[in-house]
Amino acid sequence: MHPHRSAIVCLTGLLSLQVSASPTPVEKRQTPTISNSVIFSPPSNAGWVDPRVLYPRAVQLESGAFIATWENYSPEPPKVYFPIYKSTDEGASWTQISKVEDTVNGWGLRYQPFLYQLPVAIGSYPAGTLLVAGNSIPTDLSQTKIDIYASKDDGVTWSFVSSVASGGVAQPVNGETPVWEPLLMVYNGQLVCYYSDQRDSTYGQKLAHQTTTDLKTWSSIVDDVHDTSSYAARPGMPAITKLPNNNYIFAYEACGSDGCRVHYRLTSDPLDVLSAPSYTLKSTAGSTTTSSPFVVWSSVGGANGTIILSGGSASNIFVNQNLGDPNSWVEHTTPQPNAYARSMVLFQDDDSKMLIIGAGHLPPSSTNYVSVSVIDLKETMGI
Ligand SMILES: *[C@@H]1O[C@H](CO)[C@@H](O)[C@H](O)[C@H]1NC(C)=O
């Protein structure tokens, strides 16, 4: 199937009754709805490696611009890198402004990028610093290393910050010892890096985090999810967001034990996920979703707002307006195709608008491309 760029529908505001005497209609500015619009599709005959692109991440900067990156399977040499694309028109058009290159290992930046703009200063990095955490892996996949790079100019130039964790062979096989899938979040003046960890021989894989107050030195490892009843369990792909009752929802895939179905925990302390109760995500209609969750919270929909969760198996999003109550998940359609490790960004000035970014499926896949949709959550949920 060839990727397509759909028409962008521009909505104009209606004439308000209060100003009906005015000769000119009052235009209410609206974010255009964007439907699976292609950001980047690698050339088909230029040596790009299966699956071409995968695992996109995006962030909206304080300036209003959106920044996106993804796993980029460009021909080697040169070493692979994380491309940095920018949109200054709310996701409608994108241009590459830079790339984040491995400047310390000589391996490349290969898998699982995560973008994060610091909301507060951490060490010598001021609020507003843009961070990329990602997995540096050599071409032969013999090692894994979660490294962090920083940009103090909104993504134009990048420099190495520190390394969080180092592991073995980059294969998701029990008995190997890689680290995977970093996610960054500031909590109580510290930066937390959540990730998947296969180095503990008690578990095929577990979820863990480390913290830093200076972005140079990292704390010891704290487990977030592990399965004491099954070595074969592989909880993975941590995702977390804060709720208005000061709880956090921590979502993950339960591979090895529950067919990679998405599970989640609710905790008041994001540094203590391990003791929190866990739930299987299941809609009121009985459907579940598998693999690679991402989760955000929007204020739309009343006092509880709305939790929005994306899983790898569904184009649909799962929403919850009861603070994560396990019997309150409802599915809604989106124009964004299902993909491995999609992610979502709420608009800062209006969190009823949400950008979804996807980049296709795990290998083998010769058709992956990076695309975005922008949806109106109220319209999507019919409220
Ligand atoms: C908010 O969520 C709680 C917990 O599920 C629920 O009891 C309450 O009714 C919800 N409030 C609203 C306004 O929906």
Query: Is 16 among the domain residues?
Result: no
- C-alpha 299 – ligand 1 centre gap (Å): 13
Interval 31-36 mean pLDDT: 82
Residue with tokens 């190495």: 160
- C-alpha 227 – ligand 1 centre gap (Å): 31
Q: Say whether pTM exceeds 0.85.
A: yes
Secondary-structure percent of the chain, ordered helix, strand, coil, rounded to 5 = 0, 45, 55
- What is the pLDDT, as a whole number, of residue 4? 35
Query: Is 23 among the domain residues?
Result: no
- What is the pLDDT, as a whole number, of residue 46? 83
Count: domains in the chain: 1
- CA 162, chain centre distance (Å): 21
Q: How many CA atoms lie within 13 A of 177 on its CB side?
A: 9
Query: Is a pLDDT exceeding 50 seen at residue 99?
Result: yes
Q: Which residues pair with 295 in a beta bridge?
A: 309
Interval 251-280 mean pLDDT: 98
Query: Is 27 among the domain residues?
Result: no
Query: Is 2 among the domain residues?
Result: no
Query: Is 239 among the domain residues?
Result: yes
- What is the pLDDT, as a whole number, of residue 23? 44
Q: How many CA atoms lie within 13 A of 185 on its CB side?
A: 19
Give the tens place of pLDDT for each residue, 169-195.
999 999 999 999 999 999 999 999 999
Interval 231-248 mean pLDDT: 98
Burial class (CB in 10 A: 0-12, 13-18, 19+), 9: exposed
- What is the pLDDT, as a whole number, of residue 30? 56
% of the chain surpassing 70 pLDDT: 92
Interval 354-376 mean pLDDT: 97
Query: Is 20 among the domain residues?
Result: no
Q: Which residues contact 80 (CB under 8 A, 6 or more apart)?
A: 72, 73, 74, 108, 109, 110
Of 313, 307, 312, nearest in space to 329 by CA: 307
Residue 319 is part of a domain; what is its CATH number?
A: 2.120.10.10
Alpha-carbon distances, residue 221 vs 37, 164, 192, 200, 202 (angstroms): 40, 10, 11, 11, 15
Of 313, 324, 315, nearest in space to 255 by CA: 313
CB distance 27 to ligand 1 below 6 Å: no
Alpha-carbon distances, residue 312 vs 29, 236, 249 (angstroms): 33, 13, 18
DSSP class of 122: B
Give the tens place of pLDDT for each residue, 241-264.
999 999 999 999 999 999 999 999
Q: What DSSP line would sit under 254-303, residue for residue?
A: EETTSTTEEEEEEES-TT--TTS-EEE--BTTS---BS--EEEEES-SST
**254-270 as b/e, with b when 16 or more CB fall inside 10 Å?**
bbbbbebbbbbbbbeeb
Interval 42-70 mean pLDDT: 95
Please give the residue range of the domain that contains residue 226: 32-381
Mutation test residue for ligand 1: of 247, 266, 323, 328, the one with most atoms within 8 Å of CB:
323
Query: Is 149 among the domain residues?
Result: yes
- What is the pLDDT, as a whole number, of residue 317? 98
Residue 328 CA: nearest ligand 1 atom is 5
